[in-house]
């Protein structure tokens, strides 16, 4: 075989480094290793048990072949050896709610319409860069998401493996009243909505159960991996139901009849009740709501045990502090009011405050919402529902349309997922429990029973893993100290991701 025919994918990090001189002198290419051996690491296998110290992990043909004490695992001479001494290995992370194909503005849709699948792949690569090897994309433009999903699955593109829902059925697209609180402003926004809804949009609530089953089956035929149901509208501080209880149950039954999972966006007590009694499989951000979660709903979460995908990146750490700062500015009227308060009293009269109007109560709900959602999350982690890590991660605003191209956001692909795992510890979990939520339980929430094939470091499972420089059980923030990422038994060259940047391209002066 001539050297020009040997093509090592750019995203594969090998242990072989050849200089130009050695290339010219080498008559034949170096043989590929028969396996990869991670030697001497501490294995945190994702099951929540005691870590295995000084271990060897042998990976062969994309799967875990052996895991055991270093002395007990025989490493073949033909294996590529990776020094794991002083390192910690976890399964690949799973994010159960991202949005890789959902630009924020009509201008971005117009600018990048022909490249939405490339942007979705870029988002999947950004997730993979930070150890997130599987993602559930639960709202976005269906056709380009399916293209991206299939390209990654076939191996023609690299990225976290994707599972796609497309529309949140019963909602319009991102320029609809159910999502944005207003009707589309022009025909272009109407057309964009239809590309997202694919016939399963805001007209659905007009139909009875039998007709809804027909609509749902037609939508599933488009190739989605799971179905997300709009139980309430997008604005979580307004209690707008989308479907009645019998409508909702008819949709869930139709999804289950096709062998798929049904999940929901339901952010009010009644919306969550309807979803739970209808047999929903997963509730996205159950902590999100304008009011404290009710004891009735908490009890149902423990009894029904749907997956509870908590978006902790938004209610903990840096994201939470930013939300509190915004709420404080709203209460005081901004910086000028805060400055006035520091200079002396701002009340000019001693009259009693008027009785609260409904509008004043609604404003209070919005102002205190960050604290309510965090308190809800702390309550939910105490229930028996299996917790997964979810984020609402989405690709950033296009550089040319951003006032601050370097602005940090708590929903950055990959980084947001790490923040969400860390948040679970703030909410009361142990680091071990948080890692289980971000690996094994997340994999169990993937469509097509993927939890049987990945999510833990066990013999015979798909070899997804993250190697860390420090112990995440001692400090959960050590999940950010990533040394190596492996997906499907292939070591990823993280420094090269994303391969063809569009949104995350670096400035070239």
**Long-range contacts (CB closer than 8 Å, 24 or more residues apart) made by 220-223:** 220/255, 220/258, 220/260, 222/142, 222/146, 222/166, 222/198, 223/146, 223/164
Scanning the structure block, which residue is given the tokens 């550089």?
A: 399
Mean pLDDT of 127-144: 97
Distance set, CA 261 to CA 51, 80, 211, 238, 372 (Å): 32, 39, 20, 27, 29
DSSP 8-state code for residue 485? E
Pick from 265, 108, 105: which is nearest to 171 by CA? 265
Residue 27 has pLDDT above 60, yes or no: no
* Rounded CA separation 255/213 (Å): 8
**Which H or E element spans position 168?**
strand 168-169
Sign for the CA dihedral angle at 98, 102, 103, 106 comes to: negative
Q: Please tell me what DSSP assigns to residue 110.
A: H
- Helices 317-332 and 369-380 sit at what angle, rounded to 10 degrees? 150
| DSSP, residue by residue, 60-89 | ETTEEEEEEEGGG-PPPTTSEEEE-TT-EE
Crossing angle, helix 245-257 and helix 269-277, to 10 degrees? 40
Backbone angles phi, psi at 389, to 5 degrees: -90, 125
Mean pLDDT of 287-314: 94
Stretch 273-302: mean pLDDT: 96
CA 39 to CA 55: how far, in whole Å?
Answer: 6
The Cα 168–Cα 227 span in angstroms is 7
Q: Where are the beta strands (DSSP E) in 326-440?
A: 387-389, 393-394
What backbone torsions phi and psi does residue 188 show, to the nearest 5 degrees? Answer: -60, -45
Tell me how crowded residue 343 is: count the other CB atoms within 10 A of its CB.
Answer: 7
Token digits of residue 85: 């001494």
pLDDT value of position 327:
67
> Reduced to 3 states, what is the DSSP secondary structure of residue 237?
coil
Taking a C-beta distance cutoff of 8 angstroms, is the pair 390, 300 a contact? no
Q: Is the pLDDT of residue 6 over 90?
A: no
Q: Quick: pLDDT tens for 187-225.
A: 999 999 999 999 999 999 999 999 999 999 999 999 999
Query: Domains plus CATH for the chain?
Result: 1-90+457-497 (2.30.40.10), 93-320+364-454 (3.20.20.140)
180 against 237, higher pLDDT:
180
Contact present, 232 and 248 (Cβ < 8 Å):
no
Asked whether residue 142 carries a pLDDT value surpassing 90, the answer given is yes
156-199 pLDDT, tens digit per residue, is 999 999 999 999 999 999 999 999 999 999 999 999 999 999 99
């Amino acid at each position: 075989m001539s050297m020009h025919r040997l093509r090592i994918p750019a995203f594969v990090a090998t242990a072989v480094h050849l200089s130009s001189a050695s290339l010219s002198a080498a008559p034949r290419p170096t043989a590929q290793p028969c396996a990869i051996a991670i030697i001497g690491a501490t294995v945190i296998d994702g099951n929540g048990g005691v870590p295995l110290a000084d271990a060897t992990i042998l990976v062969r043909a994309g799967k875990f072949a052996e895991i055991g004490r270093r002395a007990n695992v025989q490493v073949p001479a033909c294996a590529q050896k990776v020094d794991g001494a002083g390192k910690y290995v976890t399964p690949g992370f799973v994010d159960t709610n991202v949005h890789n194909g959902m630009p924020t503005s009509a201008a971005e849709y117009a600018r990048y319409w022909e490249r939405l699948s490339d942007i979705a792949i870029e988002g999947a690569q950004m997730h993979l860069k930070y150890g997130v090897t599987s993602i559930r994309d639960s709202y976005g433009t269906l056709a380009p998401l399916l293209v991206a999903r299939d390209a990654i699955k076939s191996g023609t593109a690299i990225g976290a493996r994707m599972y796609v829902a497309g529309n949140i059925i019963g909602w319009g697209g991102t320029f609809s009243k159910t999502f944005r609180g207003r009707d589309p402003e022009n025909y272009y926004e109407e057309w964009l909505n239809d590309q997202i809804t694919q016939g399963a949009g805001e007209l659905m609530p007009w139909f009875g159960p039998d007709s809804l089953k027909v609509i749902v089956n037609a939508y599933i035929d488009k190739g989605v991996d799971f179905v997300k149901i709009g139980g309430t509208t997008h604005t979580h501080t307004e209690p707008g139901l989308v479907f009645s209880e019998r409508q909702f149950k008819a949709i869930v039954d139709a999804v289950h009849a096709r062998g798929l999972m049904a999940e929901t966006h339901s952010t009010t007590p009644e919306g969550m009740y309807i979803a739970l009694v209808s047999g929903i499989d997963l509730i996205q951000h159950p902590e999100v709501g304008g009011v404290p979660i009710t004891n009735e709903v908490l009890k149902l979460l423990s009894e029904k045990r749907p997956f509870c995908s908590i978006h902790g990146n938004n209610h903990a750490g840096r994201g939470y502090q930013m939300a509190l700062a915004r709420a404080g500015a709203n209460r005081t009227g901004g910086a000028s009011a805060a400055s006035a308060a520091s200079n002396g009293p701002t009340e000019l009269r001693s009259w009693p405050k008027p009785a609260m109007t409904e509008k004043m109560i609604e404003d209070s709900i919005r102002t205190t919402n960050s604290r309510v959602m965090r308190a809800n999350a702390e309550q939910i982690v105490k229930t028996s529902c299996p917790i997964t890590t979810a984020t609402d991660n989405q690709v950033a605003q296009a550089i040319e349309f951003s006032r601050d191209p370097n602005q940090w956001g708590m929903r950055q692909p990959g980084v947001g997922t790490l923040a969400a795992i860390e948040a679970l510890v703030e909410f009361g979990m142990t680091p071990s429990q948080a890692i289980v939520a971000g690996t094994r339980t997340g994999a169990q929430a993937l469509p097509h029973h993927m939890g049987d094939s990945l999510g833990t470091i066990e013999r015979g499972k798909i070899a997804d893993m993250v190697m860390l420089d420090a112990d995440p059980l001692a400090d959960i923030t050590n999940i950010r100290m990533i040394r190596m990422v492996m997906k499907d038994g292939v070591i990823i060259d993280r420094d090269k991701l994303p391969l063809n940047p569009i949104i995350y391209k670096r400035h070239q002066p």
